Amino acid sequence: MRGITPRREQGMADPVLAEMVYATGATESRHYAAVKPTIQAYRASWVTIAPRRDGVVNPQRTVVNDPAAMTARIKAKATELGADMVGVCRLQPDMIDLGSEVPHEFVIAACVAEDYEKVMQGPDAVEEEAMWTYARCAEIATELAAQIRAMGYPARAHHNGGSEVQAIPIFYQVGFGELGRHGSLINEKYGASFRPGFVTTDLPLVEDKPREFGVQDFCMNCNVCQRNCPGDAIPQDHVVTHGIKRWLIDLEKCYPYSRLREEYCHLCVDVCPYIVKSHPETYKAFMKERKQVGYKTPKTY
Amino acid sequence: MEKLYVNEIGPDGDVSTVSLFYSHPEAQKIVDTLRADPDRAAYRYEIVEAVRHTLSEKQARRAAPAQKE
């Protein structure tokens, strides 16, 4: 199946970031240039396992007479490996990168939640938590794909070390939640504080369904992420893509805070009120801090 | 930088925004790739200037004194 959704290049391969970095006279974004050893180690971990994203399929195929039971088994395995949420849907063109071919019928999403308590420890702790979570997702997807191939079905892991699939359309279709104003998918338990790993496969599975619980309507009136965005990068207006409201972040305004500084910026996710149910005290304390600085990020953040 | 939307117009006239792009060549490259996909032959594409408002603009409008005619 051929993909139709453009993927923005990362790092200096992104023409928007490259133009902004070169305009400052630098050759690398300050955020990427100032990576700490722990973060480097996490990044190295998903690069190291990238060659195992795909591999040889066992020629002796396990017969699947009950796809529902197999789906339950796969979800249990992903949970055992450390996933906090697991969902399955049929692969669609909008879930695949523009120009890429993915020859599989299903996609399994396995997400790991970030420890929201880290937000109170500042941007370094938040970044470390985010990268740790990405590394865990890469390990889970790699192991899950290997186990499916061992059952005799093609399977490919998609994670930070290599991916041809798009997180948001898959998250929505497997029922993790709805797209929020800040551009991330919102789950009623984890807010937007979770990271993804995926496995595409032909293993017979049973699809989950999208779940809507009012996020898009809520985001029409809640401006908390907008008010807290230091770059004013989150727009007032939305567009519609395949029937879903999308608020497209202005990267020219986002990057000065998220790429041109050394510090990690995760504020739009951290202030999202959907996290309050699972972390009421931390969220309230964090928002009290935010209010004291006028919701804008001080230069020392 | 320019701000441009690429819109996909379906056979039934439904408009779906592909994404936001920051230069005409970047947007045109996406359109050319989509047009080359035989599965999208029934779709049309347009590149339009992205008219975008921010919260600060909304607040500024609210803060502005009312104009009497």
Q: Is B12 on the interface with A (CB under 8 A)?
A: no
Tell whether the model's pLDDT for residue B57 goes beyond 80: no
Rounded to whole angstroms, the Cα distance separating A128 from A32 reads 14
Q: Helix, strand or coil for residue B48? A: strand
**Contact at CB, A98 and B1, closer than 8 angstroms:** no
B19 contacts in chain A (CB < 8 Å): 6, 248
A154 and A268 part of one domain: no
Average pLDDT, chain A: 93
Q: Quick check: B60 contacting A, CB < 8 Å?
A: no
Percent of chain B clearing pLDDT 70 (strictly above): 77
Q: Are A92 and A186 members of one domain?
A: yes
B31-36: average pLDDT:
96
Please indicate, yes or no, whether residues A188 and A227 belong to a single structural domain of this protein. Answer: no
Domain range for A267 is: 223-292
User: For chain B, which residues make up each domain, given as ranges?
Assistant: 4-63
Average pLDDT of every residue of chain B? 86
Model-level pTM?
0.91
Encode pLDDT of A100-143 as tens digits. 999 999 999 999 999 999 888 888 899 999 999 999 999 999 99
From B17's Cα to the closest Cα of chain A, the distance in A is 5
Is A145 found in the same domain as A17?
A: yes
- pLDDT at position A146: 98
How many contacts, defined by CB atoms under 8 Å, are there between A and B? 63
A211 is a domain residue: no
Instruction: Tell me which chain A residue has its CA closest to the CA of residue B55.
Output: A236
Q: A292 pLDDT band (50/70/90 cuts)? A: confident
Q: How many domains does chain A have?
A: 2
Neighboring chain B residues of A98 at a CB cutoff of 8 Å: 30, 33-34
- Report for A166-170, A225-229, A281-285: range of highest mean pLDDT: A166-170
* Residue B38 DSSP one-character state: G
Same domain, A36 and A72: yes
Last residue of a domain, one of A201, A232, A249: A201
Q: Which residues from A are below 8 Å from B16, CB to CB?
A: 240-243
Q: What average pLDDT score do residues A184-211 get?
A: 96
Shared-domain flag, residues A196 and A243: no
Q: What is the pLDDT of residue B42?
A: 96
| Mutate: best of A250, A254, A295, A296, partner B, most B CBs <10 A | A250
Q: In this model, does residue B66 exceed pLDDT 60?
A: no
Cβ contact B53–A237 (<8 Å)? yes
Is residue A123 in a domain?
A: yes
Interchain CB distance below 8 Å, A246 and B23: no
* Sign of the dihedral through C-alpha A65, A68, A72, A74: positive
Mean pLDDT of B35-59: 85
Percent of chain A residues past pLDDT 90, beyond the cut: 82
Contact across the interface for A236 and B54, Cβ inside 8 Å: yes
- Looking at the partner chain, which of B17, B33, B53 has a beta carbon nearest the beta carbon of A235? B53
Q: Are A235 and B26 in contact (CB < 8 Å)?
A: no
Same domain, A259 and A110: no
Q: Are residues A160 and A244 in the same domain?
A: no
Residue B56 scores a pLDDT above 70:
no
Cα distances from A127 to residues A146, A167, A228, B30, in angstroms, run 29, 19, 18, 32
Instruction: Tell me which residue of A206, A134, A139 sits closest to A175, measured CA to CA.
Output: A206
Residues A285, A142, single domain; the answer is no
pLDDT in the model for residue A298? 45
A239-262 average pLDDT score: 93
Contacts of B26 in chain A (CB under 8 A): 15
Rounded to whole angstroms, the Cα distance separating A241 from A238 reads: 10
Residue A214 placed within a domain: no
Q: What pLDDT, on the 0 to 100 scale, is given for residue A169?
A: 96
Structure confidence at residue A300 (pLDDT): 40
pLDDT of A265 over the 60 cut: yes
Tell me the shortest Cα–Cα distance from A61 to chain B, in angstroms.
Answer: 32
Residues A114 and A161 in one domain: yes
User: What gap in Å lies between CA A174 and CA A165, rounded to an integer?
Assistant: 14
Q: How confident is the model at residue A301 (pLDDT cuts 50, 70, 90)?
A: very low
Tokens 């006279």 sit on residue: A25
Q: Are residues A174 and A43 in the same domain?
A: yes
Distance CA A176, CA B27 (A): 30
Tokens representing A96? Answer: 């695949």
Could you report the per-residue pLDDT of A199-244, keeping only the tens digit for each? Answer: 999 999 999 999 999 999 999 989 899 989 989 999 999 999 999 9
Same-domain pairing of A169 and A233 = no
Chain A residues close to B58, C-beta within 8 Å: 236
Mind telling me how many Å the CA of B5 is from chain A's nearest CA?
Answer: 9
